[in-house]
Amino acid sequence: MTSTSSAPERKPRRAVAAAARTRQPTEVRRRLIVEAAVPLIAERGYASVGVRDVAAAAGVSVGTVTYHFGSVQEILSEAMVLHIERYYAAMSEAADSAPSAAQGLRLLIDALFTDDTDRHWRMWFDYWNAGDRGDQAFARGQAERYAAWHAEIRALVERGHAEGDFTCDDSDGFAVHFSALVDGLALQRLRQAPPLSTEDARRHLYRLVEVELER
């Protein structure tokens, strides 16, 4: 005689009602998409990144991306702003918390040119070129970044002047000169025409500080 046993019958699972599903807030989903775009820009350059690339990297559908963003340029602009803000936030915090403005400015110079900063500079000039091509979102982002950067340099110069380390009181003029030299050195560093080491890039900036602030 054979005995047969059967497992208890399972009830079919019911689909979760749309209203009961947990959805991420819009700002969280947008942030996820923007975060996913940053490494894509670093690897390929913004001109080579499309909506499908961003959707695949973020693990969402193309429809989700187009629902949250009007264009791929909008995504890339926000991704570049995110990268730049992160890059400069740590640098600025270290400079501001230095025991003196002179030390803070030196920390800033050292952080601008290291063996790891070429990636940032490639992204920055890609961003710069996008603004030159008439992309208003990129152009606005650049203007805001330069304004914040100049304000950071001015604050260090004014602090150094108050502390007695800097003799120059033209903080606006120095901020313009410093920023222009940084951009020029960064471009030369990437092109290597003529060759430029990170040590030489720093040396040129130290010299500017010496001539304009410490004479």
**What's 160's domain CATH number?**
1.10.357.10
**Mean pLDDT per 10-residue interval, the chain, length 215 residues:** 45 39 72 94 87 94 94 88 86 92 96 90 84 69 86 95 91 96 96 95 97 87
Would 85 be classed as within a structural domain?
yes
Q: What is the CA radius of gyration of the chain?
A: 25
Would 158 be classed as within a structural domain?
yes
Would 163 be classed as within a structural domain?
yes
Give SS3 for 193. coil
CA distance 202 to 194: 16
Q: What is the pLDDT of residue 125?
A: 87
- The pTM score is 0.77
User: Does residue 194 have a cis bond before it (omega within 30 degrees)?
Assistant: yes
> DSSP character for 19?
G
CA distance 4 to 15: 33
- Domain span at residue 200 reads 80-213
Domain count, the chain: 1
Would 36 be classed as within a structural domain?
no
Amino acid in the structure at residue 54:
V
Would 185 be classed as within a structural domain?
yes
Would 194 be classed as within a structural domain?
yes
135 and 203 in contact (C-beta within 8 Å)?
A: no
